[in-house]
Amino acid sequence: MEFLKVVNLSKVYGKGENQVKALNHVSLTIDKGDFTAIIGSSGSGKSTLLHVIAGVDVPSGGKVFLDGEDVYAGDHEALAVFRRRKVGLIYQFHNLIPTLNVEENITLPILMDKRKVDKERLNELLDLLGLQERRTHLPNQLSGGQQQRVAIGRALMNAPQVCLADEPTGSLDSRNGEEIIRLLKESHKKFNQTLLMVTHDEKIALQADRIITIADGKVIRDERQVAR
């Protein structure tokens, strides 16, 4: 089922001579529950694509639909609600709040949304991420892998329909990187989440249902992989 739809998406940064077309008329559809990898060289527009889908970077042209909703049709507040409730974004560098502990970092999006924390959901995530024993630790008391797991928890706390991960293993060693991918895949399966992941790592991309290659702001290749 078509779930995420990107139509003729463009993003232009800068003006005049400094103008950069980060996205150049990108169209694609993603099925619900699919795990899609996005690959492409540095500067090809991968992060921009994720940010525009996530509602954090407004497109210069084109549309994004999630579950039938036109993401940019509403006002500022509607877009903020979309960001908080519908998508989970995981960055290469986790950007946790240093003064908040594990539990507080994970529940921050809920509190910002002025909603009550679902303790059961929190415990489920802490179990899944192996962070139960670290719930009151601050980010600087955690390893890089643990910090990235907290960032995953924060992205998944809202049970978002779409998880967008931008090189989530980019700053980790291979063992921790593999662990993060395992967790993301487990969560994707367990919660039937649609997972869109930017990666440089061919081994990770090969685990996806589909691989989309971006170059110069355009989709140049789109392959569905045979069932594994």
Ligand X SMILES: Nc1ncnc2c1ncn2[C@@H]1O[C@H](COP(=O)(O)OP(=O)(O)O)[C@@H](O)[C@H]1O
- Which residues make up the interface to Mg ion (CB under 5 A)? 47
Q: What is the DSSP string of 125-173?
A: HHHHTT-GGGTT--GGGS-HHHHHHHHHHHHHTT--SEEEEESTTTTS-
Q: Which does 93 bind (CB under 5 to 8 A by kind): Mg ion, ligand X, none?
A: none
Separate counts of helices (H) and strands (E) for the chain: 7, 10
Under rule CB under 6 A, residue 20 binds ligand X: yes
Under rule CB under 6 A, residue 44 binds ligand X: yes
Under rule CB under 6 A, residue 165 binds ligand X: no
Under rule CB under 6 A, residue 188 binds ligand X: no
Under rule CB under 6 A, residue 14 binds ligand X: yes
Under rule CB under 6 A, residue 74 binds ligand X: no
Q: Which residue is nearest to Mg ion (CB)?
A: 47
Computed over its alpha carbons, how large is the radius of gyration of the chain?
A: 17
DSSP state of 18: G
- For residues 65 and 9, the answer to whether their CB atoms sit within 8 Å is no
Interacting residue with ligand X among 4, 22, 128, 131 (CB under 6 A): 22
Provide the binding-site residues for ligand X, judged by CB under 6 A: 13-14, 20, 22, 40, 42-48
